[in-house]
Amino acid sequence: MAVAALVNERYVDRGFTISRLGRELKIAPAVLRRRFRRFYGLPVAAHLASRRLELAELLLAKAAGSAELSRIARLSGYHDAAGLRRDLRRVQRLRRLRPWRPLALRDPSPSRWTDVELPTLLHTLTPRR
C-alpha cells in the first residue's frame, strides 16, 4: 500500500491531514483509515504522529537546548509547541509505565513485549472514533 510512502513524504507539512490524503487518492477517509489499519496493523493517524514525533525527538537531541521548542514543532509538522509537548509527555509517560503494565493489557505479540516501539506507543494514544 503506497499510502505509508505518501505519509512518509509529507508528514512535515502541517496542513497534511488524513482527509486531505483521502481526497488526493479519491477515497473516503474512513475507508483509508480502515484499509491502512488492516494492512499495517496500526491507524494511519498513529503512523503520521509517530513520524512527526520521531523527527521532533531527533531535532531535540541534536539541538541540545539551543533551539526553540516552537521552531522544532513547526519543523516536524506540529502546529505549535503545545501539540509537540503533549505528545512527548504522553510517550514519556507510557515508556515509564510500560514495564509495570499487566501482561493482559499488552499486545500478545512477543516482539512487542521486549521492544517499546514508537508506533506501538502512539497506537495506544490514538483516540477511537
Q: Assign residue 102 a region (left: φ > 0; alpha: ψ between -120 and 50; beta: otherwise).
A: beta
CATH class of this structure's domain 3-125? mainly alpha
- Share of residues in the chain with pLDDT > 70 (%): 71
CA 20 to chain centre: 17
**Residue 31 in this model has a pLDDT that exceeds 90:** yes
- Per-residue pLDDT band at 82 (split at 50, 70, 90): very high
Mean pLDDT score, 64-69:
70
Structural domain spans, the chain: 3-125
Dihedral of the alpha carbons of 9, 13, 16, 21, in degrees to the nearest 10 = -30
Say what the pLDDT of residue 28 is. 94
pLDDT mean over 60-75: 80
